[in-house]
Structure 1
Amino acid sequence: MADPAAPGRDPRRRTFGPVVLLGLAAATLTAVAGNQPWAQGHGQAADRLAGMPLADEAGKVPAAGAIALVVLACWGVVLVTRGRVRRAVAALGVVASLGVLVVVVTGWSSAVTGLRADLTEVGTVGAVDHTVWLWLAGLGALASLAATVLAVRWAPGWPEMGSRYDAPTAGGGAAAADLVDPADRSSLDLWKAMDEGRDPTSGPAE
């Protein structure tokens, strides 16, 4: 019977795909929602504002989208790192996810307040309410927080990038040379001698 604790059989390995997919999807959703208006106005002033350059930033909280991109970048680094570095980057993702969540909470009122101020400049302010993008940003932030916390906890048992992607070392080059067929090595020595200007038939250089 296989030992479940044997190397390469850590049950946490099975969580790698689902958690990373959840984290990437949540961070992407938050980044998209964070760049959309979280508040919308109604009435004459809102109609006037819609045709002005100011409308591009009205009701938005740009900090949410910016921090969400940090979370997305953390997942990219988690995929290509290992050990303590991977865990540290996942912890950074937790901090960034908390930051997005804080921005969503404060954005509940700041988005409406900011939009009201913009509408006041162009006319009589009508009703102002929240858009679905605020709720999606909050959902994405919560999912990002959950995924990054799980990454910190389970990352030590996750599979790592193979060593074949690492930069070759001197020891690795010597080991590779030992695997060369003797006949091929003789041919290589012959060409090397000719390249150095020596006569390969005269024996070893003095």
Structure 2
Amino acid sequence: MTGSRRELGAAVAGLAVAGGLALSAGGQTWATATVTRQAPLPPIAEELTGTDLAALVPACGLLLLAAAVAVIAVRGRGRQLVGLLACVGGGTLLWSGLRALLHDPGLADLSDGTAAAATALTISRSVAWPVLAVLAGVLGAAAGGLAVLRGAGWQGMGRRYERTATAAPAAAGTREDRALDAWRALDRGEDPTADPTADPPADPTAPPPGGVGDRL
């Protein structure tokens, strides 16, 4: 495997893994909010997922997965453009994860029914999923940066198919020529399946070998 193939494979794998991690992290519970309400109403708890606290996380995950496919399909400047978009998606993931780590959720992040009668708010956070989003952002940005810097020189995955498509008409033309030759041979009264290097069949009307004296 050449160096360009290895780099292309690394970029595709990095984008795919980063996108999968972002989608996985976005669907998990990042925090649990316990709302204390006025008596006699009991406290109520609400789970906040990554989508609730950082809506851009799953969106960036989808972007990185699409970039993993696009970086294979395009070549040259197109790969660099895809890499640039992946860098933006990775940077957004990184920012979203860091923001969730540094800022606690507030009443604005809760549903309207939960926050309406709240007198106190207690937050229980899970830092693992925001950290996973940060790691996905770093990986996605790194893979995108690799595509920006090196993608223009990577070979296209579709060149083999282009060569096959170019060679196909020539092969088809050869088959047509053989069919036409067979029809011409039939018109001449010849067997088109006969071996041209074989000896011709003997003429039954020809005299036997040797002269009359030989037979006497």
State the TM-score bracket (shorter-chain normalisation): 0.5 to 0.7
More moved, 54-63 vs 30-39:
54-63
Q: Would you say the 8 A contact 1:41–1:115 is kept in 2?
A: no
1:100 to 93, 105, 108: 93
Aligned residues: 179
Q: 1:161 aligns with which of 148, 157, 164?
A: 157
Residues 154/114 of structure 1: CA separation in 2 closer, same or farther (3 Å cut):
farther
* Percent identity (aligned): 23
1:115 & 1:166 partners in 2: Cα distance? 55
Superposed CA RMSD in Å reads: 3.7
In the alignment, which residue of structure 1 is the partner of 2:177? 182
Write 1 or 2 for the structure with the bigger share of strand: 2
TM-score scaled by length of structure 2? 0.63
Partner deviation per Cα, 1:139-195 (whole Å, 9 max, x = no partner):
1111111111012112233332133545998x76653444437323446x89xxxxx
Contact 1:94 1:145 in 2 (8 A): yes
Query: Structure 2: where are the runs of 5+ without partners?
Result: 188-216
CA contact (8 A) 1:22 1:143 kept: yes
Q: Which has the higher helix share?
A: 1
More contact order relative to length (CA 8 Å, sep ≥ 6): 1
2:53 counterpart SS class = coil
State the Cα distance separating 1:101 from its structure 2 match. 2.1
**Aligned equivalents of 2:33 and 2:45: distance in 1?**
9
**Contact kept in structure 2, 1:40 and 1:115, CA below 8 Å:** no
The runs of 4+ residues in structure 1 deviating greater than 4 Å are 42-47, 54-59, 114-120, 166-169, 171-174
C-alpha distance after superposition, 1:1-33 (max 9, x if no partner): xxxxxxx95x33332223321221112101221
> Which residue in 1 is equivalent to 2:143?
147
**Compared with structure 1, are the counterparts of its residues 164 and 19 closer, same or farther at alpha carbon in structure 2 (3 Å cutoff)?**
closer
| CA distance in 1: counterparts of 2:162 and 2:4, whole angstroms | 24
In structure 1, the partner of 2:80 is 87
Structure 2 residue corresponding to 1:38, chosen from 30, 36, 40: 30
The CA distance in 2 between the partners of 1:140 and 1:126, in whole Å, is: 29
